[in-house]
Structures are given as structure tokens and as C-alpha cells.
């Protein structure tokens, strides 16, 4: 099972894809439908560990981490709380399990945005990539957002000017071999065939004991 932001080549070697919102659902669904008790999940080790804490299915995690989310630590949360009394801490599941446990709430970007909309905290911090936090902040002007701001250097390579130039001159075309397209699409289609959850997944902040093997 591979995270949806992997390359087409990686998806082509996979049985199914997932997002941070539906990862637990996908694991449970394929375990039931395919009769498996062990799932290899890649590329993010922390997401895999956090998913493993919410299922009885054994997860084999790839030893890869998001360079943005792995920089957050429980010590960072303690410092933020000390500097901003009353702060509500929300964490993305690509953060380490210790960070998830120290946060007030943990979930996908959609779940974090949903939390802010539902609870309207006076002051909040999102432990995720800066631009993602900015998007949530723009949708909720009544909440003060504290920004520790870890930028993703890869996401920042995509600019409005670059998109405009590509569309204007029809260049920078991405080409994928037909065989890769077919196999990668099958992994995506397997995910899309599952029933959609009624609400974004809420990750537990108190992580349970889980069996996780790191490949």
C-alpha cells in the first residue's frame, strides 16, 4: 500500500494507494477483502506507525520520513505551549508518534481544517507544512494561527508563474509509459472503489501499542 503522493512508477508496483485521510480504512478494507494480516506501507514511516496504532493489522513500515514533519518534536510543542498559553496543538499523521501523543488532536489536513471549523479555537498551531497551514488559516479568519513554519522545498518549486508559463507555452509535459500508467491506475482505482468515509479520519492522540516492523 503506497501513499498517493508517490510516483507513478512506485504506484505501479503497488496493490493499492491511500491518503492520510483514508489510510486506516484502506488497511482494514484490504485485510477483509483479500484475507491478509500484514500490509507493507510506504513511503512514510511515521504515517505507517500512526496507522498501525489504530488497527490490529500488522504494518510493515518503510524507513522513509517527510523532511518537513519529522522536524517537529514533543519539545517543540512544550515550547509553543509555554510561549502561547491556551494554544491548541493540531498534528498531521506524518509527525512522529510522540508528537501525535503530545498534540491535542491529530489527523489529515482535511481533519485538521474540520477541527478548526467545528471547535473555533481562539489560538491554534498546525504541525504541518507552512502552505497547508496557510490554507486552513485563510478559511478561518476568526482563529489566530501560530506558525512554527516548516517549508517544503519541493512544494515551493511549484509557482504560479511556472504554471502560467507551462500552460501558455504547452511545455514541461509529463510523460508516463503506457504500462506504468495502466498498473498505477489499477492501484488508484482499487482505492477509489472503496466506500468513501463520511468524515475525515480522526487519529488518536494517545497511541495504542502496535506491532510495526520497519523495512
Which of the four pLDDT bands, split at 50, 70 and 90, describes residue 137?
Answer: confident
Q: Return the higher-pLDDT residue of 120 and 199.
A: 120
Alpha carbon of 31 to those of 26, 37, 58, 204: distances in Å?
8, 6, 10, 21
Tell me the average pLDDT of the chain.
88
pLDDT of the residue at 73: 93
Q: What does CATH list as the number for 69-156?
A: 3.40.50.10800
Q: Do domains 2-67+177-214 and 69-156 have the same CATH topology?
A: yes
2-67+177-214 domain in CATH 3.90.550.10? no
Q: What H or E segment, with its residue span, contains residue 160?
A: helix 160-169
**pTM (two decimals):** 0.81
Q: What is the pLDDT of residue 206?
A: 41
Q: For residue 125, name the pLDDT band (cuts at 50, 70, 90).
A: very high
Amino acid at each position: 500500500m503506497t501513499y498517493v503522493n508517490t510516483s507513478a512508477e512506485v504506484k505501479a508496483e503497488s496493490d493499492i494507494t491511500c491518503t492520510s485521510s483514508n489510510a486506516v480504512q484502506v488497511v482494514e478494507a484490504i485485510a477483509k477483502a483479500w484475507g491478509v494480516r500484514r500490509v507493507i506501507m510506504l513511503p512514510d514511516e511515521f504515517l505507517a506507525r500512526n496507522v498501525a496504532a489504530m488497527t490490529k493489522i500488522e504494518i510493515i513500515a518503510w524507513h522513509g520520513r517527510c523532511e518537513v514533519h519529522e522536524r517537529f518534536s514533543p519539545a517543540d510543542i512544550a515550547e509553543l505551549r509555554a510561549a502561547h498559553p491556551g494554544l491548541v496543538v493540531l498534528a498531521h499523521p506524518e509527525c512522529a508518534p510522540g508528537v501525535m501523543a503530545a498534540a491535542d488532536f491529530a489527523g489529515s489536513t482535511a481533519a485538521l481544517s474540520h477541527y478548526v471549523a467545528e471547535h473555533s479555537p481562539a489560538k491554534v498551531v498546525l504541525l504541518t507544512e507552512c502552505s497547508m497551514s496557510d490554507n486552513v488559516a485563510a478559511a478561518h479568519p476568526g482563529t489566530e494561527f501560530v506558525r512554527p513554519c516548516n517549508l517544503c522545498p519541493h512544494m515551493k518549486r511549484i509557482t504560479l508563474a511556472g504554471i502560467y508559463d507551462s500552460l501558455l507555452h504547452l511545455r514541461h509535459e509529463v510523460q508516463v509509459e503506457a504500462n506504468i500508467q495502466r498498473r498505477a491506475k489499477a492501484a488508484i482505482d482499487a482505492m477509489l472503489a472503496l466506500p468513501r468515509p463520511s468524515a475525515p479520519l480522526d487519529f488518536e492522540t494517545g497511541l495504542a501499542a502496535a506491532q510495526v516492523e520497519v523495512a
